[in-house]
Amino acid sequence: MLNSDRALLEVIEYTDPYCTWCWGSEPITKKIKELYGSQVQVSYRMGGLVADIGNFYDALNQIGGSNWYKQVADHWLDASSRHGMPVDEKVFYDIKDEMRSTYPASIAFKAAEFQDVELAKKYLRRMREGAAAERLPIHRIDVQERLATEIGFDIDQFHEAIINKKAEKAFMGDLAEARSRGITGFPTFLIRNRKGDELILNGYQSFENFELAFRKLTGDTLKPNKISVNEDTIFGFIKKYGKVAPKEVAEVFDLTMDSTLEGLNKLRESGSIKEEKVGNGTFFLVQKNNG
């Protein structure tokens, strides 16, 4: 439901913390937020990518069986080459003997939502960073709690919501909602206007596809912000989100990757930001003395 008088559209992403194409959609959702601000409300539902890896089979990507971890790792590398976000596929070799389901990470997100819906979105992002690029086993409750502490949650409340199954019950509600709409692939985006008219975009989408959908649902009523391109605005963007990949900067500021890396390296050389090598790519963060 739209919870703001300014919001003209709601975008609901049916997602999973371990989904690489959801990770690849982060630059697009950031661009939506930066360009339209409070006019477009973005929220998340957990869709349940893998209930039990022992019974899982993805015919499209040929993932399943005893070598699932190698297949998923290869799939992540291939997806990264197309969506441009960094990945460290070796995480699946680390967790192949213990990780049975993506549900625990989704349940952790619901535990976060009980405390603060907006902060939970930052937590989802932090879990995605951890799983996708930092080789963190986010199915483990100790890792979930460490990341929740980083974001600023009351860890006792967070832990209790998981242990007493309150978060699991909320997750099952998300799962039921997704299944009732026939949604089994991620990401899936439901876009709804104030009158309740809806459009669904299945799978990874370009920003242009979102713009077409927005136009169909709102006509020309959305008023995009002007995004200036200079060192100050790029620095401000990195500071706002804490940790960004070059692809996100390129998407939001409509830059080529070469121009993006040139600008980021100038900021790094000036001491404004620092670079963090992760997997097959990098993140850029604001230096503490500039934060």
**Cβ distance 151 to 122 under 8 Å?**
yes
Residues 149 and 252 in one domain: no
Residues 35 and 146 in one domain: yes
Q: Determine the average pLDDT of the residues in 64-86.
A: 97
Q: Which residue has the tokens 């015919």?
A: 59
Closest residue by Cα to residue 283 from 273, 271, 269: 273
**Looking at the predicted structure, is the pLDDT value of residue 192 above 80?**
yes
Residues 256 and 167 in one domain: no
HEC readout, 230-274: CHHHHHHHHHHHCCECHHHHHHHHCCCHHHHHHHHHHHHHCCCEE
- Three-state DSSP at 87 gives coil
Residues 156 and 245 in one domain: no
In this prediction, residue 289 carries a pLDDT of: 64
CATH number at residue 101: 3.40.30.10
Does 111 reside within a domain?
yes
Residues 15 and 93 in one domain: yes
pLDDT in tens, 96-135: 999 999 999 999 999 999 999 999 999 999 999 999 999 9
pLDDT tier at 290, thresholds 50, 70, 90: low
Percentage of residues in the chain with pLDDT exceeding 90?
A: 94
Residues 155 and 247 in one domain: no
Residues 175 and 37 in one domain: yes
Q: From the CB of residue 152, how many other CB atoms can be counted at a distance below 10 Å?
A: 12
Does 202 reside within a domain?
no
Q: What is the pTM of this model?
A: 0.96
Does 2 reside within a domain?
no
Last residue of a domain, one of 180, 214, 242: 180
Q: Evaluate the omega torsion of the peptide bond into residue 187 and state whether it is cis, within 30 degrees of 0.
A: yes
**Looking at the predicted structure, is the pLDDT value of residue 3 above 80?**
no
Residues 280 and 173 in one domain: no
Does 206 reside within a domain?
no
* Tokens standing for residue 214: 């927005």
Residues 140 and 80 in one domain: yes
Does 42 reside within a domain?
yes
Looking at residue 213, the DSSP 8-state letter turns out to be: H
Residues 62 and 149 in one domain: yes
**Looking at the predicted structure, is the pLDDT value of residue 291 above 60?**
no
Number of domains in the chain: 2
In this prediction, residue 6 carries a pLDDT of: 83
Does 189 reside within a domain?
no
Looking at residue 3, the DSSP 8-state letter turns out to be: -
pLDDT tier at 288, thresholds 50, 70, 90: confident
| Burial readout 40-62 (b: 16 or more C-beta within 10 A, e: otherwise) | bbbbbbbbbbbeebeebeeeeee
**Cβ distance 231 to 263 under 8 Å?**
yes
pLDDT in tens, 237-251: 999 999 999 999 999
- Three-state DSSP at 41 gives strand
Does 214 reside within a domain?
no
In this prediction, residue 248 carries a pLDDT of: 98
In this prediction, residue 17 carries a pLDDT of: 98
The helix (run of H) or strand (run of E) holding residue 192 is strand 188-193
CATH number at residue 244: 1.10.10.10
Residues 138 and 20 in one domain: yes
Q: Which residue has the tokens 């080789």?
A: 135
Residues 127 and 235 in one domain: no
Strands 9-15 and 188-193: antiparallel
pLDDT tier at 37, thresholds 50, 70, 90: very high
Which domain covers residue 95, as residue numbers? 9-180
**Looking at the predicted structure, is the pLDDT value of residue 178 above 80?**
yes
